[in-house]
Amino acid sequence: MPPPSTVMDITFHRNSLIHLLSQVNPFWIQFFYFLSSSITGFLLLKLLPTRDATSRPTNVDLLFMSVSANTVSSMDTMEMEVFSNYQLAVLTLLMVIGGEVFISMLSVHFTKINSQMRDSALDAAGTELATLSDQRRSSDLKFSSRKHLFFVVLGYLLVGHVVGFLLILVYLRLVPEAGAVLERKGINASLFSIFITVSTFANCGFVPTNENMVVFRTYSGLLLILTVQVLVGNTLYASCLWAVIWLLKKLTKRREYDYLLTNYGEMECNHLLPGSHSLYLALTVAGLVLVQFGLFCCMEWTSEILSGLSTYQKVVGVVFQCVNSRYAGETIVDLAAVAPAILVLFVVMMYIPPYTCFLPRKGDKQLLKGRERSRKKQGLSLIFSPLSYIAIFTIIACITERRQISEDPINFSVLNIVVEVVSAYGTVGFTTGYSCKRQVKADVHCKDVSAGFSAKWSSKGKLVLIVVMLFGRLKRFSMRGGKHWKFI
């Protein structure tokens, strides 16, 4: 057991570090977090052997895959079956620490510690006894509530992964045909279950098969499990978090949960929303999925991309596809074969911020707090809006890929490039793929790429997409809290 002086020194240095971090702009903390973890992931992927000994991935490709996993973008420049089990484990870890729920848990933890330090400083300041007693009681309840919130988020994260893993593993055992797909590819069922659970819950969209979820398009049970994980891991996370806290309040009768529900603004957690907002958010998510579902069914119900599926399988498959257009990126169809109107709709869905609400929240003063300050920066926001960034990145991508555009104009159409850029910016991972049949000049050495169109981009183009993924992931943080889109 270390001596008391050593423990005190460790605590002092830890508190000093946390206090220093609290003074830094959150953007730079998040930037350093994603950059350092992505570089670490790249080094690990480079050191570990690939599944195929003859495969020689470039440094740009490995860096791209590391950034993609850490920013939960699921953009890929390599076939997933090239990676060894050890490399898949690295990608899994990167997806865990880059997921929305995990990062929110870290945020709650550091906010809790920083709040405790502020309270200690208040005690040391020598406030009057009566005032100090009232403040202490209020502070103790707030600190205890933050502590409970941390464990609620931690439990949410663990339960989401454990339940998802068990459901998928049981499904693969109960449906031998689905397990046979993995056996043919030499993929362990347990490893697949862990990887796909982490990827789906984090809304990354990586699948350890070259064809993404196309090979599982007929297994509706598996698609339904993943659909629920996609929703609870991101777009419905705030709504589910409120529901869990409300349920715990009813079951335990503890003051902390009541405090969380009524004083959500003081918790400094952008995912903790009031009950009305949580309901509006859930309705908005359902409405956006319904709009996509209606258009997709109208235009593609009898098309070739859904051929061979029963009516039930088509319904489940289309719902799965529409749900994944918001940040997850898993797919059961070839997006290049989808009608252009639906492709444009998917681009819009990828562009919309995560906590967009269709219903107004005029009476919610806590959520509207600080909006006056944002109005003062309205001119800057108009100049550098998300649409402006997408336009800039698209122009840069068209410049870096100008040779490909001239030589292969169908595959490298502006629409396909826009889909790739918006997908990277929205950290979704949808891609139109690359088809040798669409080449103007036939190449006998050409190879189709169904999972990642960006694999055909030049090294400069891939570096542009790396920047877009990092920028898009950081931009998503500014879309949380009171900075949601609101349609009235």
Quick: pLDDT tens for 140-178.
788 888 889 999 999 999 999 999 999 999 999 999 999
Question: What is the rounded (10 degree) CA torsion for 274, 278, 280, 282?
Answer: 180
Give the Cα separation of 335 and 413 in Å (integer). 14
Residue 396 identity: I
Q: How far apart are the first and last CA of the chain?
A: 61
What's the rounded mean pLDDT across residues 416-429? 88
Can you give the pLDDT at residue 22?
59
Can you give the pLDDT at residue 378?
38
pTM for this prediction: 0.85
Can you give the pLDDT at residue 484?
40
- Tens digits of residue pLDDT in 345-370: 998 888 888 777 775 545 455 454 54
Query: What burial class does residue 184 get, using C-beta atoms within 10 Å of its C-beta: 0-12 exposed, 13-18 middle, 19+ buried?
Result: exposed
Other CB atoms within a 10 A radius of the CB of residue 63 amount to 22
DSSP string for 229-268: HHHHHTTTHHHHHHHHHHHHHHHH--HHHHHHHH-GGGGT
Other CB atoms within a 10 A radius of the CB of residue 398 amount to 17
pLDDT at 16 over 80: no
Cα distances (Å, whole numbers) of residue 262 to 156, 255, 272, 277, 282: 20, 11, 10, 13, 20
What's the rounded mean pLDDT across residues 120-127? 52
Alpha helix positions (H), 329-377 = 340-351, 365-368, 371-376
- Tens digits of residue pLDDT in 231-246: 999 889 999 999 999 9
Can you give the pLDDT at residue 482?
37
Other CB atoms within a 10 A radius of the CB of residue 1 amount to 5
